[in-house]
Structure 1
Amino acid sequence: MTEEHRVTDPRELRALAHPLRMRLLDELMIGGPATATELAGVVGESPANCSWHLRQLARYGYVEETGEGRGRNRPWRIVVRSTVYGHSDDSPDAARIGDELSQLRLDRELATLRAWQAGRTAEPPEWQDAAFLGSGFAWLTVEELTEFSRTIVELMLRHADRVADPTRRPADARPVSIVSWAVPSRPAPPQP
């Protein structure tokens, strides 16, 4: 099982809530280990800028050097863990920055969905049929919602080992964006 990392430090949340850092993390998840120079070519930034942002991500344990290479030829890799934030006991700063991070992530995921929908018919039929967008509704207790959440996270992390280690990816595997949420659809009723 992938390690769960609870984030409550506003500085760490701020480090994650940066569009370029999100892109760097995505590229390391999809492409595997890469140098700052290689990543710069993919994201359209300078190697020095990518290197600085990678060091910021490393400061909080989201990436690490592979231990190979020297100088500018040092590859970085993602550290796979389940990052959770947005708890009821967060400080006001952490809550605000966590909300900003969630909005950035949601915007990125919606862009991915829109891109899929725009090009879906050009995809192989088996990929068109395997992909899905679903929604549902249920009446749940807080305990049931907690269990539902845990089950979804477990499913999402089932193949997490393939993120950090590209050699574990089946030849016909593609990167797949997995998004879920389960939130109450109405405010809590006033308590008497």
Structure 2
Amino acid sequence: MSDSTEGTTAHPNPIRRIDARSLRGLAHPLRMSILEMLSLDGPATATGLSARLGENTGTVSWHLRHLAQHGFIEEEAGRGTKRERWWRAVKDTKVLETAEFHQDSDVRGALSVYMHELVQQYFSRVTNYLSESWEGDWQRAGTVSDWKNLRLTPAQLKALNEELMAVIARHTPAPGAETPPESLPVIVQLQSFPRKERRDG
């Protein structure tokens, strides 16, 4: 399985393939939450993040430095002070080929933590959306859907994913492009995977 938190077709950012070292550096619930916040909401300080996360500022600062050491975040130059630094997510497209690590006992634990936390993030985004109040056209703009009647070969499933990525790419604004004032950030989550059949008898 190939995992990408940002579809490679939809973003012109450089592609970063996550190796064993960086996977171990990222695979921690708090670090993944910090990276998600910086990716979705932009630069922040340890103080601001700790307030949102309900964590000690010193703990958040330690994890920020750890993320920076592994190249997932960077300090925002020209902003902040010696005592209060601003951090931002590195703009790249992270790709993880999970098949590379399934047989590696030294990395399998980190892979399990990473995938579990990633799915939890996906779930939390949907539940947050459903719990919030939306008005006007936004009430009918989103969707939570699934399809259960497909039967595909591996090649067909891969082709389906590539076509879906291409659709998202067509709707992704170019860097620096102006967007309508009524627009809001939109998250598209794609999970497509085979299911092992279970038959009685």
Same fold (TM over 0.5): yes
Q: Hey, what's the Cα distance between the residues in 1 that align with 2:125 and 2:51? A: 21
Could you tell me which amino acid in structure 1 is paired with residue 120 of structure 2?
D
Could you tell me which amino acid in structure 2 is paired with residue 116 of structure 1?
Y
Q: Hey, what's the Cα distance between the residues in 2 that align with 1:44 and 1:161? A: 36
Could you tell me which amino acid in structure 1 is paired with residue 76 of structure 2?
T
- 2:92: which partner in 1? 81
Q: Deviating runs (4+, > 6 A) in structure 1?
A: none
Q: CA RMSD in A?
A: 2.9
Q: Hey, what's the Cα distance between the residues in 1 that align with 2:180 and 2:39? A: 15
Could you tell me which amino acid in structure 1 is paired with residue 77 of structure 2?
G
Q: Hey, what's the Cα distance between the residues in 2 that align with 1:21 and 1:168? A: 32
Quick check: 1:37–1:72 contact (8 Å CA) kept in 2? no
1:93 equivalent to 2:106? Answer: yes
Higher helix share: 1
Gaps of 5+ in 1: 188-192
Pairs aligned (count): 181
Gaps of 5+ in 2: 1-11
Residue identity over aligned pairs, in percent, reads: 28
- 1:106: which partner in 2? 119
Q: Hey, what's the Cα distance between the residues in 1 that align with 2:140 and 2:47? A: 38
Q: 1:115 aligns with which of 98, 118, 128?
A: 128
**How high is the TM-score relative to the length of structure 2?**
0.74
Flag the structure with more relative contact order, 1 or 2, with Cα contacts below 8 A and sequence separation at least 6. 2
Quick check: 1:86–1:95 contact (8 Å CA) kept in 2? no
Query: What do the CA deviations read for 1:83-123 (whole angstroms, capped 9, x no partner)?
Result: 2224323223334422321111212221332232234xx31
Could you tell me which amino acid in structure 2 is paired with residue 147 of structure 1?
A
Q: Hey, what's the Cα distance between the residues in 2 that align with 1:92 and 1:170? A: 49
1:150 equivalent to 2:165? Answer: no
